[in-house]
Amino acid sequence: MKLWLVALILSLLFIGLGIGYYATRLYEKSVAKGFFMTLLGIIVPFTIFITFIYFYGLYNNGHPLQFRW
């Protein structure tokens, strides 16, 4: 496995943890805002990762679904 892929996954995990930490602070003020931020902590890193895989496959192979680990 390539080192840049490990670095990308770890950075996305830390982004998710940062958003999740902020969400726990929002739960004290509003449960709805905290829940929304918790969802963002899951959705945002996942979306960035899927988008990266799509464009990486498109750039290297000419087809977005041919990403090779």
Residue 66 lies in a domain: no
Q: What is the pLDDT of residues 10-53, one digit of tens each?
A: 888 888 888 888 888 888 888 888 888 888 888 988 898 888 88
Q: Look at residue 68 in the predicted model and tell me its pLDDT.
A: 59
Residue 32 lies in a domain: yes
Residue 67 lies in a domain: no
Q: Look at residue 29 in the predicted model and tell me its pLDDT.
A: 85
CA 51 to chain centre: 10
- What's the CA gap between 58 and 51, in Å, rounded? 11
Residue 42 Cα distances to 31, 45, 61, 65, angstroms: 17, 6, 29, 23
- What's the CA gap between 24 and 40, in Å, rounded? 12
Residue 49 lies in a domain: yes
Residue with tokens 């464009």, as numbered in its chain: 55
Domain extent at residue 16: 10-61
Dihedral (Cα; 24, 11, 68, 64), 10-degree rounding: 70
Give me the mean pLDDT over the 4-8 stretch: 82
Which pLDDT band holds residue 67 (cuts at 50, 70, 90)? low
Give yes or no for residue 65 having a pLDDT over 70: no
Domain count, the chain: 1
Residue 43 lies in a domain: yes
